[in-house]
């Protein structure tokens, strides 16, 4: 045993414990330091990216939505908001506001793009829809010839003084074309809901749990302001109400916002948990009538308590990709710069 080389390293138990403790502490210290340094670098990088994102041509200002996990859906909403399921979302950038008329005009100016609602419908369009037009609400919904993004509520309306109002009467493909031009994309449905919640998890509204904090609705939704009974209001300048905790304005109300995903009422039953992107194809999205629709989120100035408070962050809307309406617009996202 005298010659056992290991015996040279034998230490009294107390000393050995102390050495182990010191080694553990040292390892913990090194790992923590590395983690803090790495996080500081990440925050610095994200701030730089957010700065770079500001004032992009035709894009509007974006904010960084940090990666995280949240519970998507609601138990007390419409059946398509169920079941609740955990979703992990990667960090991404999101437009602070809905895309405005001025921003959309820049896109049209630069590209000569003609929106779907401005194009003559194909031969065989149903009666009353043979002229270019779109959906307008006044007491009830109607297809109005001549309604398009330049004339949001019909041929007699225009955009004078509405430069900072959200663009409306844009179909899904119009929104996607704008996003592509701006170097962006439409947000996924999961990204949209995660961003709308602003880090307040499990709350029914983007501003928190109370339906009417301080006795009023802090968003451009039906019933938010005193109006005559026959006044259905309209869009407002973007950012007229306080933004959510991420700095995003009008995630409740003003206009519905197109998302990238195809819609399926039962999608949550089989949704993946890591950055889900909706049904994989148009085919998979077809409902019992063979119709495939896209998702829109956030409610509009027409959304009220009576129709399920569609401005809740979990509420889902489906719309055909070629549907254009006076209360439907969009905002863009971007993965990185």
- Where along the sequence are the contacts to Ca ion (CB under 5 A)? 250, 254, 298
Cβ within 8 Å of residue 197, ≥6 positions away: 70, 203, 206, 244, 313
Q: Shortest distance, CB of residue 99 to Ca ion, whole angstroms?
A: 11
Alpha-carbon distance 148 to 154, whole Å? 7
Q: Shortest distance, CB of residue 269 to Ca ion, whole angstroms?
A: 27
Is the sign of the CA dihedral 319, 324, 329, 333 positive or negative?
Answer: positive
Q: Shortest distance, CB of residue 129 to Ca ion, whole angstroms?
A: 27
| CB closer to Ca ion, 133 vs 197 | 197
Q: Tell how far CA 33 is from the center of its chain.
A: 35
For residue 326, the SS3 value is: coil
| CB closer to Ca ion, 118 vs 250 | 250
Q: Shortest distance, CB of residue 249 to Ca ion, whole angstroms?
A: 8
| CB closer to Ca ion, 74 vs 132 | 74
Q: Shortest distance, CB of residue 125 to Ca ion, whole angstroms?
A: 30
Alpha-carbon distance 51 to 195, whole Å? 19
| CB closer to Ca ion, 254 vs 271 | 254
| CB closer to Ca ion, 56 vs 254 | 254
For residue 68, the SS3 value is: strand
The DSSP output letter for 87 is E
Q: Shortest distance, CB of residue 34 to Ca ion, whole angstroms?
A: 41
| CB closer to Ca ion, 132 vs 238 | 238
| CB closer to Ca ion, 60 vs 298 | 298
Cβ within 8 Å of residue 131, ≥6 positions away: 120, 121, 145, 146
Q: Which H/E stretch holds residue 26?
A: helix 13-53
Q: Shortest distance, CB of residue 253 to Ca ion, whole angstroms?
A: 6
Q: Shortest distance, CB of residue 318 to Ca ion, whole angstroms?
A: 16
| CB closer to Ca ion, 248 vs 292 | 248
User: What is the number of helices (H) and of strands (E) in the chain?
Assistant: 5, 11
Distances (CA, A) of 162 to 49, 168, 172, 330: 30, 11, 22, 16
The DSSP output letter for 271 is -
Nearest to 255 by CA among 307, 326, 162: 326
């Amino acid at each position: 045993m005298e010659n056992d080389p290991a015996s040279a390293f034998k230490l009294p138990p107390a000393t050995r414990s102390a050495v182990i403790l010191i080694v553990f502490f040292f390892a913990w210290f090194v790992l923590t330091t590395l983690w803090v340094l790495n996080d500081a670098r990440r925050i610095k990088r994200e701030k730089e990216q957010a700065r770079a994102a500001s004032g992009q041509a035709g894009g509007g200002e974006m904010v960084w939505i940090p990666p995280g996990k949240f519970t998507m859906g609601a138990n007390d909403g419409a059946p398509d908001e169920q079941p609740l399921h955990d979703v992990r979302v990667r960090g991404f950038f999101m437009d602070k506001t809905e895309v405005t008329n001025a921003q959309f005009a820049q896109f049209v100016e630069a590209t000569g793009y003609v929106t779907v609602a401005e194009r003559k419908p194909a031969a065989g369009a149903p009666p009353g829809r043979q002229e270019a037009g779109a959906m307008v609400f006044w007491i009830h919904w109607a297809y109005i010839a001549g309604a398009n993004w330049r004339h949001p509520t019909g041929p007699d309306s225009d955009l004078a003084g509405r430069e900072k109002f959200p663009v409306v009467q844009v179909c899904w493909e119009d929104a996607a074309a704008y996003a592509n031009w701006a170097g962006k994309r439409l947000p996924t449905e999961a990204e949209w809901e995660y961003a709308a919640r602003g880090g307040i998890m499990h709350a029914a509204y983007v501003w928190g749990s109370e339906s009417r904090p301080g006795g009023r609705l802090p968003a451009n939704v039906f019933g938010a302001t005193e109006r005559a009974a026959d006044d259905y209001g309209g869009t407002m300048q973007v950012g007229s109400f306080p933004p959510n905790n991420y700095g995003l304005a009008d995630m409740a109300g003003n206009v519905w916002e197109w998302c990238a995903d195809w819609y399926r009422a039962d999608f949550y039953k089989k949704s993946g948990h890591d950055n889900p992107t909706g049904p994989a194809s148009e085919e998979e999205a077809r409902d019992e009538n063979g119709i495939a629709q896209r998702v829109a989120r956030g409610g509009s100035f027409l959304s009220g308590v009576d129709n399920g408070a569609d401005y809740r962050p979990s509420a889902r809307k489906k719309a055909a990709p070629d549907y254009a309406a006076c209360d439907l617009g969009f905002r863009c996202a971007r993965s990185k710069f």
